[in-house]
Chain A
Amino acid sequence: MQNDLLYIGIFMLIALFIPGIAIVIAGVLGPKRPAPIKNAAYECGIETVGETWVQFKAQYYIYALIFLVFDVETIFLYPWAIAYNAVGIWAVLEAVLFIFILAGGLGYAWRKGALEWQ
């Protein structure tokens, strides 16, 4: 297992290294002629008004929130899924209960209108 993890680590480094080195090479090959207008932010030819980092709506945050909760359930459900063939029907029902408690949260968000895109 240690070897598998070592390979994964090496692979991740290389997967980031190859694009990185390609960008460096392209930067060396390409011309470099910066100009103030060229470097300005692109907003369809109109000059930027106000701060760039304006506020955005909380809607996005709510999707991320529901996602977080469903992501955390993986910690519990994946080990259960591995043990699926080795456990009895009661363990399966427990996991189904687990899923349905979480689905209750989704139902609440639905009823509350939090899933509606406004």
Chain B
Amino acid sequence: MNSFLTDPIGFLILWFYSVLRGWNLPEDLVVLIAFVVGAFTLATLSLLLVVFLIWVERKIGGRVQDRLGPNRVGPFGLIQPVADMLKIFTKEFITPDGADKVAYNLGPILAVGAVIMIWAVVPFGITLYGSNLNVGILYIIAVGGIGTLGIIMAGWGSNNKFALLGAFRAVAQLLSYEVPMVVSLLIPVMFAGSMGLNEIVRAQTVPFIVLAPIAALIFFISSIAENGRAPFDLLEAESEIVAGFNVEYSGLKFGFFFVGDFLHAFTIALLFSVLFLGGWNGPGADSMPILGFVYLMIKTSLMYFLGLLIRFTLPRFRIDQMLALNWKLLVPLSLVTVSLTAIVDKLAMNNIWVRVIVLLLVNLIIWLSLQEIMERVYRSRPPRRTVNYPRLKPEADEPVVQPETPAA
């Protein structure tokens, strides 16, 4: 009973195994059934979470922008997403003429499936993880590539110029921002000496954000861009390319792109907490695994809230700004950060506090020199060309023409 109080989910899993073994099944089959049930539960939970996340996001978004958010259906509008879900489930699918059926239908499935797949390797607690894959981080990157493929299939399959143009843009953005993400993720792997997410969490006696704040920042920015949210929401810039790669979708197929989007926003917060904020580490988490889960959720909610604040306050980048930010700032910065961190950490003594101080100093130096360089670049730029728009105010010597007042 004690075990149930400190680690209810792990207790349930063990109980489930013992029930299966009680049926005298062969061991392989027991493992297989347990895996299927576990995977199904986790995937379903992640999708159900989206229903809640939509409400949270709309409510917080409303508050940030001085609106109320959903407030009609149920208390505080809590039932709103359920109503939306029921509605979207019963809408008609409109498949455009000349669409490539297979690519068109696989697109949304891959886009949302790729986000769910990340959850397979996330450690939610000491005992609570799907799979302790020894190449967890590379798996996350690989799954991101599958999502990119889903978008390109959606854009190409819909037989629409806007959709294809949107898909090209989206893929250019997703590919570009994968580079700084891959490079900055080297740092947690370096410190932990493993690519398994469990080992990375376990290695964080000091959260890695303290050891490598710049890498954490790069990871955060590039994962927002991977998610395609403001300020990086060029993939669905309504004002520029009608809606991007998903113009031709309707009903649930359209909805799934947004399910993927909402879930991805939460997932990057989760990953950030696992990789840089210490995951389930916290006082007392070793003896009471459920506490670790609570810690992780608190950290995740904080990061999720931060992401929402960014989303609802910043305006959208132009496409050239978005690409320049990546290739001319984040990629070089991540390369420099990784190199310097690797060298300095090797030279620093193995004492954890010496490392913290030295690495913080290195990060500070990188940051200050970055500021200095950007200042210089900004100063050395030629002044902005001013365009001679037609003036609204007349010249001094011109006769002032009063607008005719309409007859009363």
Contacts and interface: CB of A to CB of B under 8 A. Distances in A.
Asked if chains A and B are in direct contact (CB within 8 A), the reply is: yes
A96 B339 contact: yes
A95 B256 contact: no
A31 to B, nearest CB: 5
B96 A67 contact: no
Contacts of B253: 23
Given A7-B120, A115-B328, A43 B160 contact: yes
B96 A3 contact: no
Q: How large is the interface on B (under 10, 10 to 19, 20 to 34, 35 or more residues)?
A: 35 or more
A89 to B, nearest CB: 5
Nearest to B120: A11
Given A34-B94, A82-B194, A52 B339 contact: no
A95 B92 contact: no
Contacts of B194: 82
A90 to B, nearest CB: 10
A22 to B, nearest CB: 6
B346 interface: yes
A35 to B, nearest CB: 9
Contacts of A12: 113, 117, 120
Q: Is the interface of B mostly helix, strand, loop or mixed?
A: helix
Contacts of A99: 335, 338-339
B96 A40 contact: yes
B301 to A, nearest CB: 24
A78 B159 CA distance: 39
Contact of A60 (B32, B114, B168, B248): B168
A105 to B, nearest CB: 11
A8 B120 CA distance: 7
Interface string B148-162: 000000001011111
B6 interface: no
Contacts of B92: 30-33
B76 interface: no
Given A26-B251, A31-B92, A103-B335, A117 B320 contact: yes
B332 A103 contact: yes
Interface in B151-182: 156, 158-162, 164-165, 168, 171-172, 175-176, 178-179, 182
Given A4-B133, A15-B113, A78-B186, A63 B248 contact: no
A15 to B, nearest CB: 4
Given A60-B172, A82-B193, A48 B39 contact: no
B160 A18 contact: no
Interface string B30-57: 0110011011101110010000000000
A4 B131 contact: yes
B342 interface: yes
Nearest to B114: A15
A82 B195 contact: yes
Interface size class of A (residues with CB under 8 A): 35 or more
Interface stretch (B64-72, B103-111, B266-274): B103-111
Nearest to B159: A52
B328 A110 contact: yes
B39 A10 contact: yes
Contacts of B251: 26, 30
B97 interface: yes
A109 B179 CA distance: 15
Contacts of A116: 320
A74 B88 CA distance: 41
Given A52-B164, A82-B193, A14 B97 contact: no
Contacts of B91: 26, 30
Interface in B94-129: 94-98, 105, 108-110, 112-114, 116-117, 119-121
B160 A67 contact: no
Given A10-B35, A11-B120, A41-B159, A19 B108 contact: yes
Contact of A67 (B95, B135, B176): B176
B133 A64 contact: no
Contact of A63 (B172, B182, B195): B172
Contacts of A33: 92
Interface of A: 1, 3-8, 10-12, 14-16, 18-20, 22-23, 25-27, 29-34, 36, 38-44, 48, 52-54, 56, 60, 63-64, 66-67, 70-71, 74, 77-78, 81-86, 88-89, 92-93, 95-96, 99-100, 102-103, 106, 109-110, 115-117
When A and B form their complex, which 5 residue pairs have the shortest distance between CB atoms, in order from nearest? A117-B320, A26-B252, A15-B116, A11-B120, A81-B189
21 contacts: A6-B35, A8-B131, A10-B36, A15-B116, A15-B117, A29-B90, A30-B93, A31-B92, A41-B248, A42-B162, A42-B247, A44-B242, A52-B159, A52-B160, A52-B164, A56-B164, A67-B175, A67-B179, A71-B182, A81-B189, A96-B343
Given A26-B88, A96-B342, 4 more contacts: A43-B161, A63-B172, A63-B175, A70-B331
